[in-house]
């Protein structure tokens, strides 16, 4: 059995050996608690036939736990200074591939094809860099990768918004943009003390499992997201007011919007935060003929 990378003492040793200093701009808060790492990996339900994709391995703390639980791990790391560190810390594992790349620019599908041939069950498991949590999730969802889902650590406030249900304060266009693709729930809330350096915000691990079918069928997915963004633009405003100012550069015809709201069976005085994803779907389809161009 190898010594865990993620103990405070071993992490300090590794950082010292390589003269590594944290870059705040890259969201570098490393995990230093092996129990949290085991817990994260257990929520991914990996088997010896699974693949794991990691964003930002850091010095390999989570990577080694993934390597122990999966057939193959591919980790994308943007910071070149970490490459020699990872080569050292992950040397006991022959099932890990580190790719030096910004995940936002990477062709992840190609890498999966090359590095994980024949692997049918793939999960994204990561302690995400908080400054780009949402762009990373949206990219990996929009790329329509052959993955089962995600188990990812992020800022708790973002986790709350992603997993929020209608009628709650945290519910908004981000909840819908993500829940259109996946079933989302919070797996655990994580204290600041398990990170080095400690972040200023609370953290949570969320689990996102892809739907077989989207929760609502719409004519035009992109337009659904245009409508939801417009509907939440000003939370105190009614859906009617938000759509009037948010569609067609504020020149949307009020009567046409009222017609669409009636067709979708939605009272014009309601607020966006009370609408379910199914109601947004109906509304987007009703608005589509007039407002999608």
Given a contact cutoff of 8 angstroms between Cβ atoms, the answer to whether 274 and 167 are in contact is yes
Q: What's the CA gap between 73 and 259, in Å, rounded? A: 52
Instruction: Return all residues near 150 (Cβ < 8 A) that are at least 6 apart.
Output: 123, 124, 125, 126, 137, 140, 182, 206, 207, 208
The residue (of 28 and 173) whose beta carbon lies closer to ligand SAM is 28
Has 102 been labeled as part of a binding site? yes
The residue (of 58 and 172) whose beta carbon lies closer to ligand SAM is 58
Three-state SS for 9-69 is: HHHHHHHHHCCCCCCHHHCCCEECCHHHHHHHHHHCCCCCCCEEEEECCCCCHHHHHHHHH
Q: What's the CA angle centered on 246, arms 165 and 175, to 5 degrees?
A: 20
Q: Applying CB under 6 A, does 79 fall inside the site for ligand SAM?
A: yes
The residue (of 167 and 199) whose beta carbon lies closer to ligand SAM is 199
Has 127 been labeled as part of a binding site? yes
Q: Applying CB under 6 A, does 104 fall inside the site for ligand SAM?
A: yes
Number of residues that bind ligand SAM (CB under 6 A): 23
Given a contact cutoff of 8 angstroms between Cβ atoms, the answer to whether 95 and 73 are in contact is yes
Structure tokens at 131: 């400054």
The residue (of 197 and 289) whose beta carbon lies closer to ligand SAM is 197
Phi/psi at 67 (nearest 5 deg)? -60, -35
Has 56 been labeled as part of a binding site? yes
Residue range at the interface with ligand SAM (CB under 6 A); choices 27-35, 166-174, 212-220, 247-255: 27-35
Given a contact cutoff of 8 angstroms between Cβ atoms, the answer to whether 73 and 98 are in contact is no
HSE-CB for 87 with a 13 A CA cutoff:
7
Residue range at the interface with ligand SAM (CB under 6 A); choices 73-81, 83-91, 227-235, 248-256: 73-81
Residue range at the interface with ligand SAM (CB under 6 A); choices 52-60, 107-115, 154-162, 181-189: 52-60
Strand partners, 52: 73, 123
The residue (of 51 and 129) whose beta carbon lies closer to ligand SAM is 129
Q: Applying CB under 6 A, does 62 fall inside the site for ligand SAM?
A: yes
Q: Applying CB under 6 A, does 34 fall inside the site for ligand SAM?
A: no
Q: Applying CB under 6 A, does 56 fall inside the site for ligand SAM?
A: yes
> Among residues 33, 77, 121, 273, which is the contact residue for ligand SAM, using CB under 6 A?
77
Q: Applying CB under 6 A, does 279 fall inside the site for ligand SAM?
A: no
Site for ligand SAM in 114-153 (CB under 6 A): 127, 129, 132
Q: Applying CB under 6 A, does 69 fall inside the site for ligand SAM?
A: no
Q: Which residues of 169-200 are buried (b: 16+ CB within 10 A; e: fewer)?
A: ebbbbbbbbbbbbbebeebbebeeebbbeeee
The distance in angstroms from the start CA to the end CA of the chain is: 61
Has 250 been labeled as part of a binding site? no
Binding site for ligand SAM (CB under 6 A): 26-31, 55-58, 61-62, 76-79, 82, 102-104, 127, 129, 132
- Going by the annotation, the residues of the binding site for S-adenosyl-L-methionine are 29, 31, 56, 77, 102, 127
- Going by the annotation, the residues of the binding site are 29, 31, 56, 77, 102, 127
């Amino acid at each position: 059995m190898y010594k865990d990378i993620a103990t405070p003492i071993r992490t300090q040793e590794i950082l010292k050996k390589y003269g590594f200093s944290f870059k705040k701009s890259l969201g570098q808060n490393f995990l230093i608690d092996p129990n949290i790492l085991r817990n994260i990996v257990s929520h991914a339900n990996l088997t010896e036939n699974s693949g794991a994709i990691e964003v930002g391995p850091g010095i390999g703390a989570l990577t080694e736990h993934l390597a122990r639980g999966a057939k193959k791990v591919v980790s994308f790391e943007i910071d070149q200074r970490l490459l020699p560190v990872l080569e050292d810390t992950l040397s006991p594992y022959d099932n890990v591939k580190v790719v030096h790349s910004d995940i936002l620019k990477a062709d992840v599908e190609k890498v999966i094809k090359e590095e994980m041939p024949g692997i049918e069950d793939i999960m994204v498991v990561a302690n995400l860099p908080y400054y780009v949590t949402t762009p990373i999730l949206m990219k990996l969802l929009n790329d329509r990768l052959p993955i089962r889902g995600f188990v990812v650590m992020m800022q708790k406030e973002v986790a709350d918004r992603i997993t929020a249900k209608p009628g709650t304060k945290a519910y908004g266009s981000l909840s819908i943009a993500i829940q259109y693709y996946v079933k989302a729930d919070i797996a655990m809330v994580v204290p600041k003390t398990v990170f080095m350096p400690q972040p200023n915000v609370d953290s949570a691990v969320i689990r996102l499992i892809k739907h077989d079918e989207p929760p609502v069928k719409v004519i035009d997915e992109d337009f659904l997201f245009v409508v939801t963004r417009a509907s939440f633009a000003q939370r105190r405003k009614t859906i009617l007011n938000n759509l009037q100012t948010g569609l067609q550069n504020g020149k949307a015809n009020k009567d046409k919007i009222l017609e669409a709201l009636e067709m979708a069976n939605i009272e014009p005085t309601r607020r966006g935060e009370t609408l379910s994803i199914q109601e947004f779907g109906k509304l987007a389809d009703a608005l589509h003929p007039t407002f999608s161009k």
